[in-house]
Structure 1
Amino acid sequence: MQYIMTFFWSFLLVTMLNYVVSSINDVPFEFGLGVIVSVVLSVLVFIVSAVLPSESTPDYEA
């Protein structure tokens, strides 16, 4: 479920960003580009979450 929701939110936010930027730059909106970028963003989020440790580091007193 976390993978589906991560893709959903990245798709929604990237597509919105793609629409706004294309409107500001006065270029045609490309839906496929937003889908590709959102898939890449989702994969990067999954990689970063797998690499970062989920537990806190112990405090050492010097």
Structure 2
Amino acid sequence: MRFLWPLVWAFLISCVISYVLISMAGNEFEFGSTLMATIVITLAVFVLGEGVLKSGREH
């Protein structure tokens, strides 16, 4: 369950960011770029949460 919620939140945040930035540029909403941003944000959360931040507390 802890891996599902970051994915959901990353998708929602990516949708909002994509919609706002694309609307400001005057272009159409692209779902593909939103999914790519979701994957990048989710991977960053997993790497930071499982690796970098936990190993920093142990030292």
The two structures share one fold, judged by TM-score above 0.5: yes
Shorter-chain TM band: 0.7 to 0.9
Task: Report the equivalent of 2:27.
Answer: 27
Number of aligned positions between the proteins: 57
Q: Which amino acid in structure 1 is aligned with residue 6 of structure 2?
A: T
Task: Report the equivalent of 2:13.
Answer: 13
Runs of 4 or more above 3 Å deviation: 54-57
* SS of equivalent to 2:54: coil
Task: Report the equivalent of 1:60.
Answer: none
Structure-1-length-normalised TM-score: 0.79
Task: Report the equivalent of 2:52.
Answer: 51
1:34 CA drift (Å): 0.4
Structure with greater Cα Rg = 1
The CA RMSD measured in Å over matched residues stands at 1.6
Unaligned runs of 5+ in 2: none
Structure 1 or 2: more helix by fraction: 2
Higher relative contact order (CA 8 A, sep 6+): 2
Unaligned runs of 5+ in 1: 58-62
